Chains A and B, each alone.
Chain A
Amino acid sequence: MDTAYLSKPPAESASGASPLVSVRRVSKQFGNGTLAVRDVDLDLGAGEFVSLLGPSGCGKSTLLRMIAGLAAPSTGAIEWRDGASAAARPDLGFVFQDPTLMPWANALANVMLPLALKHVPKREAQERAAEMLALVGLKGFERSYPRELSGGMKMRVSIARALVMRPKILLMDEPFAALDEITRHRLNDDLLQLWWKERFTAVFVTHSVFESVYLSQRIVVMAARPGRVMADFPVDAPYPRDELFRTSADYASLCRLASGRLKEAIGS
């Protein structure tokens, strides 16, 4: 057993050291009057793996976009530990539901994009992008165009692009929802390894109980109309989590627990 994996320091709990980012009584009302998010309070500790779990329309994606600075809260605030604003943070990575790649650029150029936008010299950018592609298992596909890649591979490129800036926090908006189950399992495993290696804070939006339990240290359950946080509980299982964990009784009972929490939240 790799001890380094297990000796990973537990994420700073929200109550302990000051969190990386705090969502303070945030609400979001759209122009058409829809209250997408109401009074959400949420602390995200450095290095944590948190899932936002809930049905469609519960505001989890909106919340994620507000943390990323892509949408402004109507009321409330999002506070970062370093005091900087959410707009254009270099230490923030974002993965959309679709791979969102530039179809006219090959995999390498797609991963180089954030570096090019920050004026990193081309040679260095190339090296870093190639390294990141290798890390997500796409060595040898640098020159492939998105249309030559499968859905899972495109998502890997998208993840590599998000990680190439070595972000402190990675926000993911149902990134694997469109993939088949086998591919999704594989990407879940690889994402956990990347999380371990890169030590970023991961915020993972999903509507799958199984996925959230498999991946995260902590699950935040949200309900719809209006979008609000209904429950926030830890997933009590050690890492590494792998195929053995996926088929274990522990995993099954954790899923049952989380399922119950979700049902409670939606039912109320």
Chain B
Amino acid sequence: MSAPSMGAVAPPHAPAHDGTDAEARPVLATEPYLLGLPASAWPRLLAPLCIGALALGLWEVLVRWYAVPSYVLPGPLLIGQTLIADWGTLSGSLWITLRITFMALAAAVVVGVTLAVLFTQSKWLEMALLPYAVILQVTPIVAIAPLIIIWAGDIDLSLLICAWIVAFFPILSNTILGLNSADHNLIDYFKLHGATRWQTLRYLKLPAALPYFLAGLKISGGLALIGAVVAEFVAGTGGSASGLAYRILEAGYQLKIPRVFAALIMISLTGVAIFLVTSWISHLSLRRWHESALKRES
């Protein structure tokens, strides 16, 4: 501020300047867009696609060159044909697996976040219950799935429980970490203003936990799918389920190996899609403020 702008002549009122101060503000990058995507996203998209295409080509060539029978290793073209030919059956199964996965993920979010909030409100509750959450997490789902199927009675319900057990722990533990990592000075500030527990939770702890929760969600999305598929494998031996895992078992017994691969690819692509969707949600929620979404001009 120059000398005459204050003091002798200027009336003592609002400091009149542009508020930018002497320091530079951080330079945040704005990227040019190419065909609807940020320019830097294209190489990241194209490089793995090229590698994938090359690998598939090599696979097809080797399978044909050595005349590998399709019940040992089918070529990618045959798998593609099977995928199209069996789409009716497979897509029905995909839908069933997807439904279980998303219901389990939703339950994992609700239970995980609720428990995390309760645990951070009461240390006693955390001490009493967290060990059991850990036990649930470290017990191999394959080992307890048969028990759950017997106990639950309903096959859909038991699949849901299995997928939920696998999915909920990352959300729980990440959200607990997030709720506890709110800036301590900000907590003091809330105390200073006589904020209630609920206000501190709503205005401070929940927003502070959001990045952690979203990181947990990314992990849990994939785990829910794995949980659903594993439980289906166990249940499928009883012949009662009809998700993608059951199709794999069924096709395996019938030596329809191209179909095994087709179902496998659908599961993998579903996992990739879940990861992309959760990453996108995370990006949308954090891009304005969180360091992880920050892009700086170098």
Contacts and interface: CB of A to CB of B under 8 A. Distances in A.
13 contacts: A65-B188, A117-B193, A118-B193, A137-B15, A138-B19, A150-B26, A179-B23, A183-B23, A186-B1, A186-B22, A197-B12, A240-B8, A243-B1
B19 A141 contact: yes
Which of B2, B26, B289, B294 lies at the interface centre, i.e. has the most chain A CB atoms within 10 A of its CB?
A: B289
A100 B185 contact: yes
A200 B50 CA distance: 67
A100 B186 CA distance: 6
Given A98-B185, A102-B186, A103-B289, A193 B13 contact: yes
Interface in B13-72: 13-26, 28
Contact of B194 (A87, A146, A148): A87
Given A152-B22, A183-B22, A193-B13, 9 more contacts: A69-B192, A88-B194, A104-B207, A137-B16, A137-B19, A140-B18, A151-B21, A156-B21, A243-B3
A87 B193 CA distance: 8
Nearest to A118: B193
Nearest to B290: A103
B21 A150 contact: yes
Contacts of A242: 3, 6-8
Which of B10, B12, B26, B204 lies at the interface centre, i.e. has the most chain A CB atoms within 10 A of its CB?
A: B12
A196 interface: yes
B16 A117 contact: no
B210 interface: yes
B194 A139 contact: no
Contacts of B21: 150-153, 156, 183, 186-187
B23 A151 contact: yes
Among all A-B residue pairs, the 5 with the closest Cβ atoms? A88-B194, A152-B21, A242-B7, A243-B3, A182-B22
Contacts of A196: 12
B13 to A, nearest CB: 7
A88 B7 contact: no
Contacts of B18: 137, 140
Interface in A112-139: 113-114, 116-118, 134-139
Interface residues of A, number: 61
A205 interface: no
Given A118-B193, A145-B289, A242-B3, A140 B19 contact: yes
**Dominant SS at the B interface?**
loop
B183 A100 contact: yes
A17 interface: no
Contact of B19 (A117, A153, A180, A185): A153
Interface in B263-286: none
Nearest to B7: A242
Nearest to B14: A135
A148 B188 CA distance: 24
Contacts of B13: 193, 197
B144 interface: no
A104 B289 contact: yes
B6 A189 contact: yes
B242 to A, nearest CB: 44
Interface in A159-205: 179-180, 182-183, 185-187, 189-190, 193, 196-197
A40 B79 CA distance: 82
A1 B186 contact: no
B294 A147 contact: yes
A111 interface: no
B22 to A, nearest CB: 4
